[in-house]
Structure 1
Amino acid sequence: GRIGAFCMGIGMTCLLKSLGQLQLHAGIASCEGKTVMLIGASGAGKSSTLAAMQAEGWMVHAEDLAAIRIEQETVTFKPGYNRIRLWLHVVDELRVNGSTAEIAPNGEKVYLPSTRCDSIEGSISHVLLIGDRHQEAVSVCRVSRVKPDAACVAELYANTMTPYLNTREEATQILRECSELTKRLPVMRLTLPDGLRKLRPAVSSLTGVLGMSRSR
């Protein structure tokens, strides 16, 4: 149940922390050799966006927990769980292909298998922070550069796993790592369209904005 999932999440966070990896509430997806890390709080739209990206030819390597390591010149990742958690209505509205599995009997969420390759480990090219939705009726994603200042670092820290469990020393270290992340990679604000049916066409525009081409 929820308590078991929470305890497993805490245990995984502690394990990854002991291995020197920074964990964020984020998804990781790649297309044509470029890899983005999609960051946002619960309910921001990470999972639905990742499902739309997968439907449009992206490979999804992680959905809710991204474990990364900040190297001297790159930011590397390892694949996470090979599934995307989605509300049932999201699966229907996005019209995604693939069989789903129930998370719990008669539950409202299901698992959609992700297409990532277990052997793929790589480096991240962009950090995308999910922002507010478009107010106007458009079917595109908009991306704007985020200044790598203290506010950006604080937003990244707020999206790390269990920040409320950190000691003062741990918080200082993680803030330092978040600051280093802004120096290694371009951080962008991603504005999504308002409405799930516009999400797949919007993802098509995202590949162009970031200089990527889709592979099907």
Structure 2
Amino acid sequence: MSQQLTFDLPTREALGRDAFFVAPSNRLAVATLENAAMWPSGKLALIGPKGSGKTHLAHVWANENNAAIIAATQLATLDVPTIAARRNVVVEDADTLPALADAPAAQEALFHLHNLTLAEGGRLLITATQAPNHWALTLPDLASRMEGTAVARIEEPDDALLSAMLVKHFEDHQIAIPHTLVPYLIKRIERSAAAVRDIVDALDAASLRARKPVSQKLAAQVLDKSGI
């Protein structure tokens, strides 16, 4: 009997529109992003749990609107006027700003980026895990502007979305799986995007250690040990 070989292949995350699965838990957020002309004051905060698809959706929007994508960790050294001149800007993980070593400079940069982008008639999309009033910003002018930002929320996934996320993560890891594995995992993992990511990462690692393909038997062993 031939054996399926296992390889330590690089993860290639698919961030295109076709790879994003629209479900009840994110449908309103998707519709809001697609109607950027109606964002109050030209800005929107995209809120959702870690791993829920915020980055994916933000990249889709950025690609369709020729927007610059800036991580919160880049803000302190950002050439704000140049980025604002792009007119459309995405800032990711804005709720991490207070914890950054250069938080004052980063918050000052976001304040100016916010003002210049909107003054240019552009659109500002900001991602975070919590709504702006929970970001604990220390720059009062920035806090007031962020708290006045409309929010589009991605909720925890339902069965259909969990299934699609599992398939996507396995594809990102270039892992072939039996057709019975996704339904098996759906019934046993925590109902969260983070749990989807964790189980795929754990199965990938276990498969490489055992030099065996991912299977339902391997999944049972991993779940038993990890408690995911």
TM-score, length-normalised on structure 2? 0.25
Q: Whose strand proportion is higher, 1 or 2?
A: 1
Greater Cα radius of gyration, structure 1 or 2: 2
With the length of structure 1 as denominator, give the TM-score of the two structures. 0.26
- Decide which structure has greater helix share: 2
